[in-house]
Structure 1
Amino acid sequence: MKLTARMFLIIAVFFFLDVPLYWWLSHDPTGTAALTMAFGLCGMIYFYLAFTVRRIGPGPEDRDDAEPHEGAGEQGFFSPHSWWPFVLAAGGAAMFTGIAVGFWMCYFAAPFLAYGVYGLVFEYYRGENKHY
């Protein structure tokens, strides 16, 4: 994970240096905004990975002498039968369609988006999947 964090840092630095150069050569506000957002996203991913590797320590992928079986096993918990990502994606798609087509649609999509976020976050706090 340390190598992956370093890779995202290098990409973020590239975007940081590229944004002013791109704007100076093209004066294109759309491309400049897209490159700025790409810099921000790469920076956030770098921060998350660097924070996580400091918290849990280096993994087998960070060592040169590691064996493949050291990386086997549980990688995390992923809900196998959840419908909440679908509800969240449908609400988000309707919201962004409303931004593109007509803002009136956002008023109808926002409750579905909020309901999807609520359901995904609190999925394991109630019902048959409740964790104690």
Structure 2
Amino acid sequence: MKGEAWLFTGVALFFAVTGSVYVTFSTDPAGIAALAVSFLMSALIAAFLWWGHTRVGRRPADHKDALVQEAGGKRAYFPARSYSPALAAVGTALLGLGVVQGLWLFLIGVGVLVPGVYGFVFRNPDLAD
């Protein structure tokens, strides 16, 4: 995770430098906003990856002499059979379409999204199959 953290830290620094030069020589608000948002998003990902590196520690991918067999082990819980991701995806798509098409589709999207989010939040990994 350390390599990915360095990568996104470099991307964030690139957007910070590019954005500061752009602010100095340009008055275009759209470009300034785009570079500012790009910097903030890459800095957010870099901060998350640095936090993950301190929490999880060094992974086998961080070692130069690591073997493929060392990559095993339980890092996180991912349920094998769950309808929650599909419900959340369809509900979010319907919400987006509902903004354009009308309130009726937006409300259907809310009705589909709520059970998906509920399944994400309240799924107990101890009771999973």
Q: TM-score range by the shorter chain?
A: 0.7 to 0.9
Q: Give the match for residue 8 of structure 2.
A: 8
Q: Give the match for residue 53 of structure 2.
A: 53
Q: Give the match for residue 43 of structure 1.
A: 43
Task: Normalising by structure 2, report the TM-score.
Answer: 0.75
1:115 aligned partner, one-letter code: P
CA distance in 2, matches of 1:32, 1:117: 35
Higher deviation after alignment, 59-68 or 5-14: 59-68
In structure 2, the gaps of 5 or more residues are none
Give the drift of 1:58: 1.1
Give the drift of 1:103: 5.5
Q: Secondary structure at the match of 1:121?
A: helix
Give the drift of 1:6: 0.7
CA-to-partner distance for each residue in 1:61-93, whole Å, 9 max, x for gaps?
A: 112232222223444322111111111011111
Higher deviation after alignment, 18-27 or 35-44: 18-27
In structure 1, the gaps of 5 or more residues are none
Task: Normalising by structure 1, report the TM-score.
Answer: 0.74
Aligned positions, number = 126
**What value does the CA root-mean-square deviation take over the aligned residues?**
2.7
Give the drift of 1:32: 4.6
Q: Give the match for residue 127 of structure 2.
A: 130
Over 3 Å counting, the alpha-carbon distance change for 1:69 and 1:130 in structure 2 is closer
Aligned pairs for 1:16-95 within 5 A: 16-22=16-22, 25=26, 27=28, 29=30, 32-95=32-95
Over 3 Å counting, the alpha-carbon distance change for 1:76 and 1:14 in structure 2 is same
CA distance in 1, matches of 2:96, 2:33: 18
Aligned sequence identity (%): 30
Give the drift of 1:123: 2.1
Q: Secondary structure at the match of 1:88?
A: helix
Give the drift of 1:38: 3.1
Give the drift of 1:9: 0.8
CA distance in 2, matches of 1:36, 1:115: 35
